[in-house]
A and B are shown apart, each in its own frame.
Chain A
Amino acid sequence: MAFDPGLAAVDFTILRSQAREEELHYLDNAAMALIPDCVINAMVEHDTLRRSNVKRGSHRLAEEATEAFEKARAAVADYLGVSDPDEVVFTGGATAGINILAHSLGLMFERNDEVLISQLEHHSNIIPWQVIQQRQGIKVRYLPVTPDGRINLERAEDMIKSRTRIVSVTHGSNVTGAITDARTLSGLVHDRGAFLILDGAQTAPGGPMDLPALGADFYVFSGHKVYGPTGVGILWGRKEILKNMPPALGGGEMIQDVGLEKSTFLDPPHRFEAGTPPVTQAIGLAAAVKWLAAKDVKGMRGHLRRLTLRIMEGLTQLSGGIKILGPETGMERIPLVSFCVEGLHPHDICQVMNDRHGVALRGGFHCAQPLHDFLKIDGTTRASLAIYNNDNDVDALLNGMEDCMKILG
């Protein structure tokens, strides 16, 4: 039976027509997905009935909250397909996860060590490494991008050197939609004794996964892109590596014994969760991934592939010179399409699409300026899909773009 996105859409108050006065075609999911009611309810229920700080108290509420928090960790581990929940660290989001890694692993670097990232990265996987570069005299190098917006893995073999300690790349590009072949890359990385970090911000929403099979050592993502709340994210790491890493942040909840000169730290994951963690949000994130896992995920993937293809083909057919970024139709990509229209500015397109067609898009650099510089484009317009999007949304996008090109062209 064909996948019915309506069965997901009914779970969102914001998408039920009576909740809004205007039409809404929400195609900005790569920036933030909408949140289903059950996730909001799980957080309300937690704060209503079990609110307390975790790991600190022995009273009943503290114990219940701690148990709920650790259950949330286990639910995320389940979603990722990892057997040990202690490999799952709650963070503030993908950006926080990469920063924790950069600062912790950075303490283990020596001068002239190298970190290899790529030109395809989101700023959140560039700036933390540049900070470490400045502070510690390491070198950040960039894997090039192919003309069709993929990381050029053919160059990886000669760019990963004996001084390369970390390779940190996007698993799925928020601009070109390209998916990185993690398994091939991890082989090359491990041959040279380096670690592989995957930025999973755009691949985590694809449904339950078998993370260990990707061969990476670390994986980060944000709650708000997987139908969860803001302010929470995940850093997953292999336990044998996490165990030997120094903390990036210090504070309560991560210490074993505190002295005036020296302190000792808890084992992972707590070593990397300094201070009060985002308890309520962690509970929301767990509810979100459970909600998604209970859907027909295989059907969703096929449905989103089909809609993505419709967008790519539909845009190509519009006259006026639309250039689509990323892998050609037929190649695997995450469900988003970024494009440039000759002579039109992305912000003008987004405004007209919103004002006249109720289509929510995103325009600009998408926090990936080096990629836009490399491709020599001044910004792109992006449509990104999620489980509730349907053919009407695609029709609104394509009809709207036709109108938009008439008005602005």
Chain B
Amino acid sequence: MSNDLYHEQIIERAKRSDNNIRLENPDCSATVSNPLCGDRITVELKMEGDVIKAISGPVKGCVLCKASASILAEIAVGMKCDELKSMASDLGQALKSQADNNESFPKAYRMFYPVKKHKSRHSCVMLPLEGALKAISECKGHSGDK
């Protein structure tokens, strides 16, 4: 496990993220931004009932934000709204926790363990998840809180 913030796994992940694929006729979408650094991300979702069927959207952000968006794009499909919500909350908690290991991180996000000690960068990792949650909340008939 690397303590270097920009370890290979994150950089490779960020490079893999495809920024510009747009969904045709998404059921809902939301744009969120971080006024401090100008990161902006739009999340588009296709839903089937309470389940995410497809997710995409343009990401304008730093390496951490792009890597986080890329992971989300991969794991969100098939997830229920509530599952996404609790994963986002777990990740937020893990970033803030005092633990000196990555075990409290949701599995897919363990590579972000070194971000923990850089408080000002937590929001870079969280932004894609916030975007997805905002999209869900704006999705008529698929409100996360049934």
Q: Which residues of A contact B (CB under 8 A)?
A: 345-348, 351-352, 355, 363-365, 369, 372, 378-379, 407-408
B15 to chain A, nearest CB (A): 10
Please state if B4 and A355 are interface contacts (CB–CB under 8 Å).
yes
CB neighbors of A among B29-83 (8 A): 36-39, 60-64
User: Interface centre among A351, A365, A372, A378, by most B CB within 10 Å?
Assistant: A351
Please state if B36 and A345 are interface contacts (CB–CB under 8 Å).
no
Please state if A407 and B6 are interface contacts (CB–CB under 8 Å).
yes
User: Interface centre among B4, B37, B61, B118, by most A CB within 10 Å?
Assistant: B37
Q: Which of A363, A364, A408 sits near B6, CB closer than 8 Å? A: A408
> Which residue in chain A gives the minimum CB-CB distance to B118?
A351
Please state if A351 and B121 are interface contacts (CB–CB under 8 Å).
yes
Q: A345-B62, A345-B63 are in contact. Are A352 and B37 (CB under 8 A)?
A: no
What chain A residues lie within 8 Å of B61 (beta carbons)?
A: 345
What chain A residues lie within 8 Å of B91 (beta carbons)?
A: none
Please state if B37 and A363 are interface contacts (CB–CB under 8 Å).
yes
A338 to chain B, nearest CB (A): 14
Q: Which of A347, A364, A365, A408 sits near B124, CB closer than 8 Å? A: A347
What chain B residues lie within 8 Å of A372 (beta carbons)?
A: 38
How many residues from B make CB contacts under 8 Å with A? 16
Please state if B4 and A348 are interface contacts (CB–CB under 8 Å).
no
A168 to B4, CA, bound (A): 45
A233 to chain B, nearest CB (A): 23
How many residue pairs, one in A and one in B, have C-beta atoms under 8 Å apart?
Answer: 39
What chain B residues lie within 8 Å of A378 (beta carbons)?
A: 38, 60
Q: A347-B124, A351-B121, A408-B63 are in contact. Are A379 and B11 (CB under 8 A)?
A: no
Please state if B121 and A346 are interface contacts (CB–CB under 8 Å).
no
The answer to the question of B5 belonging to the interface, with a C-beta cut-off of 8 Å to chain A, is yes
B35 to chain A, nearest CB (A): 8
B75 to chain A, nearest CB (A): 23
A–B pairs, 17, beta carbons within 8 Å: A345-B39, A345-B62, A346-B37, A347-B62, A348-B6, A348-B63, A351-B5, A351-B6, A351-B118, A355-B5, A364-B36, A364-B37, A365-B37, A365-B38, A372-B38, A408-B6, A408-B11
What chain A residues lie within 8 Å of B118 (beta carbons)?
A: 351
A150 to B4, CA, bound (A): 39
A127 to chain B, nearest CB (A): 14
A354 to chain B, nearest CB (A): 10
A378 to B4, CA, bound (A): 26
What chain B residues lie within 8 Å of A355 (beta carbons)?
A: 4-6
What chain B residues lie within 8 Å of A364 (beta carbons)?
A: 36-38
What chain B residues lie within 8 Å of A363 (beta carbons)?
A: 37
A150 to B63, CA, bound (A): 32
What chain A residues lie within 8 Å of B11 (beta carbons)?
A: 407-408
